[in-house]
Amino acid sequence: MKKGKRIKNITIIAITANAANNEAENCLASGMNDYLSKPIDRDDLRSKLNRWLTLAEKKVVELEFVEEVLPECKSDAVIDMGQLVRYIGEDVTKHKHFFGLFLKTTPESINALHVAYREQSLTDIEFYSHKIKSSAHTLGVTGLSLLCQQLELGAENAEWDKIEVAMSKLDATVSAVDSSIHAYLDAFGGLTDQECLQQTLPSLPSWK
């Protein structure tokens, strides 16, 4: 759906049968914006819809001014804590879990994005930049999200000059994200979930 040309910036709320078995996390890692667990509670559904409809106007503003915002994203303020709390909540355990998942799954998409750029595949650049953008946005990793948004728009419009500018910033942005996430995790004792730790560490070298 998100790769289609007729409708862009679709918000997808997944319906998962068992949020306790990592299905919810996998939904976010796959580029979906949010999730609901079965059986569907009407109040929960209403809350999700109200939140995303409220954010829609803000998202349009970000889209219009993305090129002005990007240069102001600094490595010492990579994580927007307000946005992280708005989407994930205030539970630090959940933050650690989702950041661990992000560190595990994102390197593969970053590498695929580099391959797509080398092979000049606009379709793949659009696909992987959108996938990274959605996950980063949900976790408050605003700089990376906006950078991928710029890549996505460049690929949609075949604007190679904009793609080249964004790609030139990608590795430095990813490095800043990696450092900031680990600094945040270390401040709360690191990834204490042993299973998550084992899944995450082997993927870290592929950031580069």
Peptide bond into 202 cis (omega under 30): no
CA dist., res. 139 & res. 157, Å (int): 27
Residues above pLDDT 70, as percent of the chain:
67
pLDDT tens string 117-163: 999 999 999 999 999 998 898 899 989 999 999 999 999 999 999 99
Domains and CATH numbers, the chain: 67-207 (1.20.120.160)
pLDDT in tens, 82-92: 888 888 888 88
**CA distance linking residue 52 with residue 75, whole number of Å:** 27
CB atoms within 10 A of CB 40: 11
For residues 31 and 9, the answer to whether their CB atoms sit within 8 Å is no
Characterize 55-83 residue by residue with b for buried, 16 or more Cβ atoms within 10 angstroms of its Cβ, and e for exposed: beeeeeeeeeebeebbeebeeeebbbeeb
Query: Higher-confidence residue: 123 or 197?
Result: 123
What is residue 57's three-state secondary structure?
helix
Which DSSP state fits 41?
P
